[in-house]
Structure 1
Amino acid sequence: MNVEKILAIAGKPGLFELKLQTRSGFLAESLLDGKKITVGLRSNVSLLSEISMYTYSEEKPLVEIMRAIAIKENEGPTAVSHKDDNAKLIAYFQEILPDYDEDRVYASDIKKVLNWYNILQAKGMVSKEEPKVENAEAIKEEVVEEVKAEKAAKPKTKK
């Protein structure tokens, strides 16, 4: 499962694939409808490869949780919908990640994970194979460096 260029953008439904860096941010393509959008540098954006969920022992990377769902569902869609009632979602998620921290992982987080999994599954991006996230840090550093270069290149105006 390669989610190194998959983004979650605050305020936007679904997931996006990072296409290219622009002067004022970057270009992303929706995995839901294929529409391309530009995202500014001030938007709250998260790489899926950088997201983790709390367990009682450690933080579990989202990629590993997605892999556990893929194993349980044999790489098919989830047995429950993200629109089901909270009790059903929590019971399903306890099968996937039995030691998740119930005080810090909310039903809304579980809904989001299941929705994201189903989006990725529909695009054929889920796998039972070991996750490959070794390049995620390099991608993150590259994006951060480009943002810093962009900010440094902007002329400062005096008021």
Structure 2
Amino acid sequence: MSLDKILSISGKPGLYELKTQTRTGFVAESLVDGKKITVGLRNNVSLLSEIAIYTTTEEIPLREVFKKIQEKENGSATSISHKDDKIKLEEYFFEILPEYDEDRVYASDIKKVIMWYNILQGKGLTDFEEVEEETSEDQAE
């Protein structure tokens, strides 16, 4: 499963997998406890594949940040918790992404990234490669 099917829902903890679309929204399943919920169109929902982290030069896609964490941790869970203090979180994030924009990336953002990585890693969803869409040239071959 790619990050294109993983959601962050505002006001709901953890991450969710997009299951199906309904007339009034969609059904998502929690990656934490497996419970299914219906999400209306009024909820603020973000696909992990669409999230990026600000750096001093550009925006880095979240999947690239996850890859850097994965390399640092040799594929296992992070060595720090998302509940650690602000200074510890910022130091850890600076090791992973030294060029991140400290003015626009808050400690709460770092907490989410670390928590999300650990959830995905715990579920075995560690393929952070970008899914390439087939072009018409590929289909013609």
- TM score, norm. by length of structure 1: 0.81
Q: Tell me if 1:33 matches 2:33.
A: yes
Q: Tell me if 1:7 matches 2:10.
A: no
Matched AA of 1:70: Q
How far apart, in 2, do the equivalents of 1:125 and 1:58 lie?
A: 26
Match of 1:123 in 2: 123
Runs of 4+ in 1 over 2 A off after TM superposition: none
Match of 1:67 in 2: 67
How far apart, in 1, do the equivalents of 2:36 and 2:59 lie?
A: 32
Matched AA of 1:41: L
Identity of aligned residues (%): 67
Q: CA RMSD in A?
A: 1.2
Match of 1:51 in 2: 51
Tell me how far 1:2 sits from its aligned partner: 1.9
How far apart, in 1, do the equivalents of 2:2 and 2:93 lie?
A: 22
**Which entry has the higher C-alpha Rg, 1 or 2?**
1
Matched AA of 2:67: R
Tell me how far 1:126 sits from its aligned partner: 1.4
1:71-150 matches, cutoff 5 A:
71-127=71-127, 131-135=129-133
Q: Specify every segment of 5 or more residues in structure 1 that has no aligned partner in the other structure, as ranges.
A: 136-159
Q: Work out whether residues 49 and 133 of structure 1, in 8 Å CA contact, stay in contact via their aligned partners in 2.
A: no
How far apart, in 1, do the equivalents of 2:62 and 2:84 lie?
A: 21
- TM score, norm. by length of structure 2: 0.91
Matched AA of 1:132: E
Q: Work out whether residues 7 and 46 of structure 1, in 8 Å CA contact, stay in contact via their aligned partners in 2.
A: yes
Tell me how far 1:133 sits from its aligned partner: 3.8
Match of 1:151 in 2: none
Secondary structure of residue in 2 paired with 1:4: helix
Number of equivalent positions = 133
Matched AA of 2:129: P
Matched AA of 2:74: N
Matched AA of 2:105: V
Tell me how far 1:75 sits from its aligned partner: 1.0
Match of 1:16 in 2: 16
Q: Deviations over 1:19-69 (max 9, x none)?
A: 000011000000000000000011100000000010001000001000110
